[in-house]
Structure 1
Amino acid sequence: MNFWKLAYKMNWVTAEQLRLAVKTEKNPYGEITPEQYKEITGVDF
């Protein structure tokens, strides 16, 4: 998660792009959880 936090902070990815890295039923290979997404972006997944 530290990589994604840094990537978002440095504007390497947008919140919309970061959604693609979240583990969901459709994307079981994601790298972060919806809770971590909210922690990084401050926005509910």
Structure 2
Amino acid sequence: MSFWQKAFKYGWIDAESLKGAVKTETNPFGEITPEEYKDITGVEFA
């Protein structure tokens, strides 16, 4: 289990805040992919 999975599972971070960790064109330093975001939260990354 990754750090971000644990953080979300234990409520250390919510789905909205987790979006800041997603690697995108505007955030090339993100640590997780949009697919990993969906796996962690169960919600499609938008």
Q: Measure the CA separation in 1 of the matches of 2:38 and 2:12.
A: 17
Q: Which amino acid aligns with 1:38?
A: K
How many residue pairs end up in the alignment?
Answer: 45
4+ residue runs over 6 A deviation = none
TM-score normalised according to structure 1 size:
0.97
Partner of 1:28: 28
Which 5+ residue runs of structure 2 have no aligned equivalent? none
Q: Which amino acid aligns with 1:17?
A: S
Which has the bigger relative contact order, CA under 8 A and spacing at least 6? 1
TM-score normalised according to structure 2 size:
0.95
Which 5+ residue runs of structure 1 have no aligned equivalent? none
Residue identity over aligned pairs, in percent, reads: 64
RMSD: 1.0
Q: Measure the CA separation in 1 of the matches of 2:12 and 2:6.
A: 8
